[in-house]
Each structure stands twice: as structure tokens, then as C-alpha cells.
Chains A and B, each alone.
Chain A
């Protein structure tokens, strides 16, 4: 959780407080960027660029309360740009061992998660038929536990569009699960 007072002080140009904001913002910015892109180095670059943009424009946000929404929006916009670039040079490498591990976990009812590399392969396989916006709606809703209102505020879509995109994304992912598992 990010302290609103910290944000307020950063808006007046306090770099020391911004260090704390960077520390608090990096984990969830990285989480979204990694799930969107499936590549640790790219996600790291996106987080760095995002935080620099945050420092440059933090004085322009209307109130500190909207900081998190604003941060997610910057991360997603940078991810969209990256995905657009990747669309021109697609690099989807599906590794069967990752799917095998997921099958095992499902069969064992294991409470453990899986590694970053396997997660990247699985998310990229499941969302390969989705547009970047549908992918973002799905990740924010099902992995980041956000409400439709919050997603609408981040993505700039209407609540109805968010619902429609989420419905389509979940349907598509079910189909992909049938294909891979």
C-alpha cells in the first residue's frame, strides 16, 4: 500500500520521498508488466520507464488518491506499445514442459505456484488470441483482483466494455485450456 502523504510530498518535488514511492510501486508495476509481456527484462524496462514518467508528471495528477490507477495506466500504455512492437515480430515459444507442470499442479491440487518462466509461457499461450486490451482486462480482474470500476478507470473503457472484454477473454482462455491441457 502506498502512503498518500508520500505522494503528496513527491508532488512538490521531494526526491527522498520518491525513493519510498519507487520501492512501494515497483512490485505491483512489475507484476502487471511481467504478466502482460511474459519477459522479465522487458517488464523491468517498462517499470523503469514508468517510474521516470511518474516522477516527471506526478505534479499533474489531480489528487494523490488516484496515484495507483494512474500508475497502472502508465504501465499498461507502455505494455500496449511493447505488444504492438512484438506483433510486428512475434516471438511466441510454447514450451510443453510448462504445460506439463501446470497439469501436474492441477491434478495434485497443489497449493504451490509456478516459476516465472513457466508462468510466462502459460499466460502467453492462454492469451494468444486476445487483443492487448482484453489481455489487460483479464490480468487486472483475475490476477490483480480489481473491480470492474477500477479496471474501467485504469483502461479508460466503459464498465460495459470491461464486462464484455472480460467475458470474451475468459471464454477464449477456456478454449485455450482445452487446447493445451
Chain B
């Protein structure tokens, strides 16, 4: 019952408001004002306008605008993804340098100090079991290896220059069964 009364009131209210069409008292003023404003507007150069329209008119098309917005979001997302992949790859590469360095460190004795220097300058950290070796310790190691290499070269040169000494040492090496050592 109450609902019916409200519906009735609603219908009548809408009917009354619909009948009361608002009409401006100053319609002529509005029209005059509009024409005045339009007349005072600068005349558009039709040729320039059409060229501009031809070049950039497509920006007014809603579906193109929306597509471009979507595309820009997509490009930003791809850019962020690529950046994260590149950072990941760089991190992976830096760990690879350490692994390769350690491999050379373990398997080769030729230019040992050079490899150590490479490890130092490449920024890789050399690990001794679990604790990293400091730069000072690495410098000391490189220095001692250089000294050792120098002494070894001197010794080899002395032995090479003296065939008797060389023969004697070779004989001793055979006696002691140090077959792997070659002069």
C-alpha cells in the first residue's frame, strides 16, 4: 500500500517536472552572444588545417588512442622484463668469472701470477675454503709467486749452462724416481 502510494507520487512528480520545460528568458541574448563570440574568433586557415588534420587527425580516433595507450603499457612492461633479465644475466656472468678463475687456478701453473692478477682486477673474489682472501694477501701471494718463478728461471738457466751439473741432476732424479720432473 505504502509502495503504491510512493509509486503514485513518483509518477506524478515526474509528470509535473516533465511538463515544466525550462525555457530561457534570454534566448535571444544567448544566440546573439554565441554569434558575437564566433565572429570574433580568428578565421582558421583551411589549407593548414587540412594538412594538420591529415598528419595528426588520427590522434582524434578513440580506438587508436586506446590502442596506443595499451601498446605503451606493453612496451614499458617488456622494457622492465628485459632489464630484469639483463641484470640477472650480469649477475650470472660475474659468478662465471670466479668459477673459471678458480678452474685455471687449480689446473695450470703457467703464468700463475698473471691469472691471479686477472682475478684481482676483474673484481672477482678468490675464496679459500669459506673465507675470502683479501687484496693484501693476494698481493703477497702474487709477489712470492713472482719471486719463486724468477728463482726457478735462474736455476734452470744455471743448469742449462752447465752440462755436467745437468747430467748429475738428471741422474739423481732417475735414482730418486722423480720421472715427472723434466729439466
Contacts and interface: CB of A to CB of B under 8 A. Distances in A.
Nearest to A126: B13
B41 interface: yes
B30 A26 contact: yes
Contacts of B10: 170, 173-174, 177
Interface size band for B: 20 to 34
B6 A26 contact: no
Interface string B102-119: 000000000000000000
Interface in B34-63: 34-35, 37-39, 41, 60
B6 A177 contact: yes
Given A102-B16, A122-B17, A142-B14, A30 B34 contact: no
A35 B12 contact: no
A133 B172 CA distance: 106
A19 B18 CA distance: 28
Given A23-B31, A44-B30, A181-B9, A34 B22 contact: yes
Contact of B6 (A15, A27, A114, A178): A178
B19 A113 contact: yes
B9 A35 contact: no
B136 to A, nearest CB: 69
B16 A174 contact: no
B135 interface: no
A43 interface: yes
Contacts of B29: 44
A177 to B, nearest CB: 5
A109 B131 CA distance: 98
Contact of B37 (A52, A178, A181): A52
Interface of A: 15, 18-19, 22-23, 26-27, 30-31, 34-35, 40, 43-44, 47-48, 51-52, 55-56, 60, 102, 105-106, 109-116, 119, 122-123, 126, 142-143, 170, 173-174, 177-178, 181
Given A35-B22, A48-B34, A102 B27 contact: no
A123 B27 contact: no
B20 interface: yes
A105 B16 contact: yes
B26 interface: yes
B183 interface: no
Contacts of B14: 142-143
B41 A56 contact: yes
A26 B21 contact: no
Contact of A43 (B6, B21, B22): B22
Given A19-B35, A55-B38, A48 B22 contact: no
B34 A119 contact: no
A164 to B, nearest CB: 19
